[in-house]
Chains A and B, each alone.
Chain A
Amino acid sequence: MAAGSADILWTILGGLVTLAIFSFLYRDNPLYKMAEHIAVGVSVGFIIVTYYNTIFLPKIWDNVLHLGKYDYLIPLAFGALLFTRFTPKHGWLSRWSLAFLLGAGSGLSIPSTLEGRVLQQAEGTVRSLVAAAPSAGAGVDVGASFAAIFLVVGTVACLVFFLFSVEHKGGIGRFAYFGRLCIMAGFGASFGYTVMARVSLLIGRVQYLTRDFVDAISRIL
């Protein structure tokens, strides 16, 4: 079969599976179930093949059998031990692998996480409150300065909102309320971005259906 014909068939198949998935919006049905299972099966199949070709073959097979690097059998054994979880009798062996993963993972991540997620983030919050204008000698950038001050005040207000050792009354209460507004604004921004993301996915599928799928159908008719 020519590549062009194969492309057309794959495009039509993709369109039909998309429509089957969309059919769930009306109600659950066998077509949707079938498409769902196809998606899961194809994904898992792709993952297995990718891991086999890009991890197992170059890192284990070639190193052990072709290069004689037998120390690579140690991580292989640790990996194999994870599968003992499928048998209740030997499941405890998988804890060795998990212990190694947790220990090594923590050791590797804690210093960088502390640096990147705590120290640099704290530093970013307390940078100069007065921002200079982009062009030299133009004085103060009012907008950027306001944003910097708002960032600091808003951060502190959010922290105060979660401060439960002091009763939220009077000035503290009003400041905590401002923190609550900041948190709600954050949730609102997240919701807006989420809507944009989900609509983007729908746009991608609609583009596929109205252009690629329709074009493929028209070529075989």
Chain B
Amino acid sequence: MDIATLLQKMLKLDRRIIYTLVFVGVVLPFYLAWPPIRIEVSREVEDAFRIIDAIPPNSTPLLLSFDYDPASAAELTPMAVAALHHCFEREIRVLVISLQYTGLGAGIAADVVPRIAAEHGRVKNVDWAFLGFQPNAMVAMLQMGEDIKRTFPVDYYGTPVDSIPLMESIQNYDQIPAVLTLASTAVGEFWAIYPGSRYGLTVLGGLTAVYVADIQPFYQSGQIKGILGGLKGAAEYEQRIGRPGDDMNGMRSQKVIHYLIILFIALGNVAYLLARRRQA
């Protein structure tokens, strides 16, 4: 069988063979710790790290917004975990909210935040608080610029926000040094457009990879001060805080799959061009 015929057959390749190859390409790096990978921290991630790192310990809190649902958890939860480890290790307080419109982000936050806080012995409502979920992100963001306590009268667990010690000195964005939005939708952009533009809030974005290309112009214009993009961004942040985790293995799989897809695209194009030449 000559190469041209082989390439012709590739055009009719059963998609399930490709699925199987992709699956094997994802799984093998977990067991073989191959291929070698070197994570270099990008400027976007470094900027985000520096802004969070500069927040004084036991002072005004980082606002951490879980603006994603379980479908994006594989990409964004590692970022949340890494950011929480960073904050709690440095005794930076964290104020958690969720503006993802279905409210499913609140469920993820309720699972992740107490677990990481417990690892570091950080006290609920003193070192961190979870104010819960609000629908209609734009309205909630604008209202928080006036009064956070009025936007979230009670926290996720039903405690009146007035009685939470962490909230004693917090009125609005003036007492928030930065927000890190973990977003899979346009909510990430909303943070830059509404609180960022109107109230001058420092916005950092932890975003799904699909969304990074859309949000990059906001970084270039300075409306978003730092970006953690997809699993790669999470791995870079883990690297930066000195806590390399599962995302390193994930990036090995990413490397294999990207090469595989590039190979398929190249072979598919060559086969297509050969087929067109034969028809001509």
Please give the residue numbers on chain A whose beta carbons come within 8 Å of chain B beta carbons, in ascending order: 25-26, 43, 46-47, 50-51, 53-55, 58-59, 105, 108-109, 112-113, 115-117, 120-121, 123-125, 151, 186, 189-190, 192-197, 199-207, 210
Contacts and interface: CB of A to CB of B under 8 A. Distances in A.
Given A26-B16, A196-B209, A50 B106 contact: yes
A116 B213 CA distance: 17
A193 B16 contact: no
Contacts of B210: 190, 193-194, 197
B193 A116 contact: yes
Contacts of A109: 138, 194
Interface string B222-238: 11000001111000000
A120 B254 contact: no
A186 B134 CA distance: 34
B250 to A, nearest CB: 5
Nearest to B19: A25
Given A116-B196, A197-B75, A202-B23, 13 more contacts: A25-B19, A55-B134, A109-B138, A115-B193, A120-B221, A120-B222, A194-B209, A196-B209, A197-B208, A197-B209, A197-B230, A200-B254, A206-B30
A117 B196 CA distance: 11
Nearest to A201: B74
Interface in B254-271: 254, 257-258, 261
Interface in B128-149: 132-135, 138-139, 142
A195 B213 contact: no
Contact of A112 (B106, B194, B250): B194
A43 B102 contact: yes
A117 B214 CA distance: 12
A203 B229 contact: no
Contacts of A53: 158
B104 interface: yes
A195 B261 contact: yes
A46 B103 contact: yes
Given A43-B104, A196-B232, A116 B156 contact: no
A194 to B, nearest CB: 5
A206 B106 contact: no
B50 to A, nearest CB: 13
Nearest to B222: A124
B212 A193 contact: yes
A82 B193 CA distance: 29
Contacts of B231: 196, 200, 203
